[in-house]
Amino acid sequence: MKSLKLQPTFLVELDVPPSELMTRVRTVMRNQAALDDVSEIASAGNCIDVKVPRQQQRFWSPHLNAHVSEHDAGSEIYCRFSPRPEVWTMVMAVYFVATFFICSCGIYGYVQWVMETQPWAFALIPIGLLMIAGLHLASLFGQKLSEDQMDHLRTRLEQVVKLAVS
Is the pLDDT assigned to residue 125 strictly greater than 70?
Answer: yes
Give the Cα separation of 157 and 68 in Å (integer): 12
Q: Is 116 left (phi over 0), alpha (psi -120 to 50) or beta?
A: left
Q: What is the pLDDT of residue 108?
A: 97
Q: Write out the H or E segment, with its range, that includes residue 109.
A: helix 85-114
Q: Can you say whether the dihedral through the CA atoms of 22, 23, 29, 33 is positive or negative?
A: negative
Q: Name the average pLDDT for the chain.
A: 87
Range of the domain at 35: 9-84+148-165
Asked if residue 37 belongs to a domain, the reply is: yes
Q: What is the pLDDT of residue 38?
A: 54
Please give the torsion angle defined by the CA atoms of residues 107, 108, 114 and 120, in that order, rounded to the nearest 10 degrees: -130
Q: What is the pLDDT of residue 109?
A: 97
Based on the fold, state whether residues 27 and 47 are members of the same structural domain.
yes
Is the pLDDT assigned to residue 135 strictly greater than 60?
Answer: yes
Q: What is the per-residue pLDDT across 136-151, written as a single tens digit (0 to 9) for each? A: 888 888 888 888 899 8
Position 15 confidence tier, pLDDT thresholds 50, 70, 90: confident
Asked if residue 94 belongs to a domain, the reply is: yes
Contact 101, 129 (CB under 8 A): no
Lowest mean pLDDT among 59-63, 93-97, 114-118: 59-63
Based on the fold, state whether residues 58 and 96 are members of the same structural domain.
no
- Region 37-58 average pLDDT: 82
Position 35 confidence tier, pLDDT thresholds 50, 70, 90: low
Asked if residue 143 belongs to a domain, the reply is: no
Asked if residue 2 belongs to a domain, the reply is: no
Based on the fold, state whether residues 65 and 98 are members of the same structural domain.
no
Domain of residue 54, CATH code: 3.30.310.80
Q: Using alpha carbons only, how large is the chain's radius of gyration in Å?
A: 22
- Region 84-93 average pLDDT: 88
Q: What is the pLDDT of residue 25?
A: 87
Q: What is the pLDDT of residue 1?
A: 45
Is the pLDDT assigned to residue 72 strictly greater than 60?
Answer: yes
Please give the model's pTM, rounded to 2 decimal places: 0.77
